A and B are shown apart, each in its own frame.
Chain A
């Protein structure tokens, strides 16, 4: 049977998490189709056709599909679903918004944030803030999944040669309307795909002091993350939060600065290859997961580290 991947894009390019979802799909089937929905999304469909492993691109082009609103997207996916054994989206905010709605329309129970595929019906997913891994078997006819991007390698963006096919769209949405967006602009690497992440917590104490974190990150060409405490205190924007309810990252190197290491934060970073903690409290729980811990005042250690790198 074929597997359908729901692509995420911004009308210019396919977003990176889609490539991880394609990898998950390829492990289930050698016939992987990808749905590119949007307005005037020909270019993106062409890009999708190049992804290694993709055998067919379904392009749905309609004004109602701009901005990935769940209300028109879900019925489109649900209409296509009966032709597939699995429907997969990356576990991004977009995937999490749309996929459960599409599953409900298909009378299926989706599986969220899958980290391993054991067979066509058996999947592993973290529960309880990642403290427990649950192995789950699905009996649904069409299995809807969102996959954790850090758990699957990215498929190659080139090398494929799928054909593009237009799909029909009902093309109306009376329920919702996109009003506006405020995207955080950053020249730094994207948090969820960065090789190195430097995160600051409550210990950084102020928004101004976060420049210490930025300077270190720039030296390492790293992305910048934050704990919930730092976000709630207004030091940085919400979309930088790493944790159970924020982003899940698994870089080669994660440097936690002034972060105590609450369960909810660890859920978002404990699969990092190497974890470094800089904290002045030697009993902070972060030291239990850190490969290298430095008990020191971050206001002295971080500038020194930045300078010596």
Chain B
């Protein structure tokens, strides 16, 4: 079985981004970029399934600028076999991304697609669900465990209030939650080997998908700052402040 893993190039999770001076968008000039953390978990899961003999090939796909090759090489250094870059300088919405991924899905016909549950830049949490809808596949979102049967998989999902297990017919779409696994680091020899693995590049506008945005970003702003707080010296002072100043306890 082939596993397809769409990944995203995003701002490193430790970077605190700010709006640019005219508030038209966030300022991403000279900011450190990385694979979205949830996508790393997706790559790791695919590689583990290959190591357990459940998959024979792992294909990573990224839709983004030419520099996103870095993230695809990084995924191949972790163990992915080959990569597809759908090149565009546009910042696409999840709907357009899902439509592009649908085309790649049709072309590759993988047995399983694993994505991160959300990207830490847009915080949308949509692409996996939308891809599953467009391909007519079942979805196992927010997965913390995936186990295999003959023609189906069992996905344990992190839901409000606890865990839920679903059985999905294959092929299926799974989106990863934090607890699915602990991604590995790339070893230096594997980084070197990854440079020789195949990386195919396609132009996004040649794929035959309508990329017209459905939403317009009007402005971005910083959320209101909280007024500076105070440090209290003792538990007694804390209780006194909460009772008499903040009036949140009685």
Contact = CB atoms under 8 A, between A and B. Distances in A.
A292 B238 contact: yes
A73 B63 CA distance: 29
B161 A183 contact: yes
B217 A139 contact: no
Given A112-B124, A135-B217, A176-B169, A101 B142 contact: no
B6 to A, nearest CB: 15
Nearest to B168: A176
Interface string B26-67: 100000000000000000000000000000000000000000
Nearest to B130: A104
Interface string A275-295: 110000010000101111111
A135 B169 CA distance: 39
Contacts of B235: 294, 296, 301, 304-305, 308
A253 B248 contact: yes
Contacts of A282: 231
B218 A135 contact: yes
A293 B232 contact: yes
B114 to A, nearest CB: 16
Given A100-B125, A139-B214, A182 B249 contact: no
Contacts of A93: 141-142, 157-160
A127 B93 CA distance: 13
Contact of A70 (B139, B169, B223, B234): B139
A156 interface: no
B186 interface: no
A245 B129 contact: no
A123 B121 CA distance: 18
A122 B217 CA distance: 10
Contacts of A252: 248
A200 interface: no
Given A126-B223, A238-B179, 18 more contacts: A74-B133, A97-B141, A100-B126, A101-B129, A104-B98, A104-B133, A109-B215, A133-B223, A134-B220, A177-B168, A178-B164, A181-B164, A181-B165, A183-B162, A274-B242, A291-B226, A292-B238, A296-B235
Interface of A: 67, 69-71, 74, 92-94, 96-105, 107-113, 122, 125-140, 174-184, 192, 196, 220, 228, 231-232, 237-239, 244-245, 247, 252-253, 263-264, 270, 273-276, 282, 287, 289-296, 301, 304-305, 308-309
30 contacts: A74-B133, A100-B125, A100-B126, A101-B132, A102-B133, A104-B98, A104-B133, A104-B134, A105-B133, A108-B95, A112-B126, A126-B223, A127-B121, A132-B220, A134-B220, A136-B218, A176-B166, A176-B169, A177-B167, A181-B159, A220-B249, A239-B158, A274-B246, A275-B229, A289-B226, A291-B230, A291-B246, A293-B230, A294-B234, A294-B238
